[in-house]
Amino acid sequence: MSGEGPSGRALTAVKGTHDILPGEVEVWQKVEAETKRLFELYGYKEMRAPIIEPTELFHKGTGETTDIVTKEMYTFEDKGGRSITLRPEYTPSVARAIVEHRLDLLGTPMRYYYIGPMFRYDKPQKGRYRQFHQVDVEVFGEKDPALDAEIVEMADALLKALGIAETETLVNSVGCRACRPAFSAALRERALAVQDKLCIDCRRKMETNPLRIFDCKVESCREQARAFPKITGFLCPECREHFAAFRAHLDRYGVAYRHDENLVRGLDYYTKTTFEVVDNSAGQQNAILGGGRYDDMMKDFGGPDICGIGFAMGLERLIARLALKPEARRFLYVVHQGEAAKARAIELARFFRRGGIETVIEFGGRSFKNQFGRAGKLGAAWVLIVGEDETAKGIFQLKDMAAGTQVGGAPEVLLSGVRS
């Protein structure tokens, strides 16, 4: 039975968090191992930053006006009076670490990846949790659009390696500080002209972030938005050129993508390239990964003027689309009977482990039947039988549980048999 807390209510995992139990955790391990393997082929290095950060980091890095900062952060005061926040995203931590350790002096570009939990106080629903896990990729110090394409290609390669199908890659350019203000102004003006045909949310977005009107799902808003000006026509020569080169490189890689002029990222710091991989086959939370370029973030953050680009991939969303069944581990189960045999069995378990074989020894067993039953239920590949006779002779019986066959021999012989 579950225990009870002080309130008398059963103690359960915190709302929006989940246990990842054996049986499922193997899928996570496999995804993590494949991610690590593939990213390192592209020269990325793992960087592990703390889960807690100074609250101020996200105000400066993520943006004061974002939903994440205004209403989704887990923030608390520690015993030293510091304001601490459970990271809601990873990019600011990387920027902080680069500045703190002057990693930019080691030479650019700096390619980092990380896999771990993030925390956002959202109302949970399918594909959205309060503690969720991301694979995060960041590159600082390279402005060449060939890198933008390389990153999208790497993301594409990972999804293919994991067997994720049915996805669509969307790309766009959101301009830079030179050209986006003019676009935002034009957009706001057009929205204002037809505001009586927009929903209440969009009227609010008109002021705060007019680009997000493109995200609205209300049909009347979508209809109006179709006639709104597009960012593409407002891009400055530099941004236009960057975007064209990015697309040319993607074509060279043979990565399929669609230019979605309405693709707007939720965070304030994006410039130029943005991209997203969506799975249209199911669910509302369909963005598996999303990212883009953030050339001004490091500078705004108070660090060196270094450009950056990266993406985050949601592991829960990814794994939900994975039809991957990990293979069961093969292990040896040691059964025994009698005190002398038990002592010998313990020695033998150690012998097999040292030989590289996963070995579990029976402790509370009664009859052999009882012990075999447990071995079978746990899924043992082999059972080593250590009885009175075997212990006396030094010749033990090894049963192959799947085949039902049994052979006798000295421990060395049985070990080599199990290894082959």
Partner RNA sequence: GUGGGUGUAGCUCAAUGGUUAGAGCAUCGGACUGUGGAUCCGAAGGUUGGGGGUUCAAGUCCCCUCACCCACCCCA
Instruction: Tell me how many residues contact RNA (CB under 7 A).
Output: 69
Min dist CB 393 to RNA, Å, is: 10
What is the pairing mode between strands 167-173 and 131-140?
Answer: unpaired
Minimum Å distance from CB 328 to RNA? 11
The total of other beta-carbon atoms located within 10 Å of residue 34's CB is 15
Q: How many CB atoms lie within 10 A of CB 24?
A: 12
Q: Which stretch binds RNA (CB under 7 A): 26-34, 40-48, 234-242, 311-319?
A: 311-319
- Partners of 125 in beta bridges: 128
Should residue 375 be labelled a site residue for RNA when binding is judged by CB under 7 A?
A: yes
**Of residues 149 and 345, the one with the C-beta less far from RNA:** 345
Exposure class string for 155-164: b at 16+ Cβ within 10 A, else e: bbbbbeebeb
Alpha carbon distance 89, 50 (integer Å): 12
Candidates 29-37, 174-182, 351-359, 384-392 — which segment interacts with RNA by CB under 7 A?
Answer: 384-392
Binding mask 239-278 for RNA (x = CB under 7 A): --------------------------xxx--------x--
Q: Does 357 bind RNA (CB under 7 A)?
A: no
Q: Which is nearer to RNA, 97 or 340 (CB)?
A: 340
The reply to whether 325 sits near RNA by the rule CB under 7 A is no
Q: Kindly state the tokens that stand for 392.
A: 């006396």
Q: Is 115 in the site for RNA (CB under 7 A)?
A: no
| 377 lines the binding site for RNA (CB under 7 A) | yes
Among 1, 105, 323, 328, the residue binding RNA under the rule CB under 7 A is 1
CB of 369 to RNA, least distance (A): 4
| Window 166-205: contact mask with RNA (x via CB under 7 A) | -----------------------------------x---x
In the complex, the smallest distance separating the C-beta of residue 80 from RNA, rounded to whole angstroms, is 28
Give me the residues that bind RNA (CB under 7 A), please. Answer: 1, 8-10, 12, 15-16, 66-68, 89, 120, 122-129, 132, 134, 201, 205, 212, 215-218, 265-267, 276, 283-290, 312-314, 316-317, 337, 366-370, 372-373, 375-377, 383, 385, 387-390, 397, 399, 401-402, 404, 406
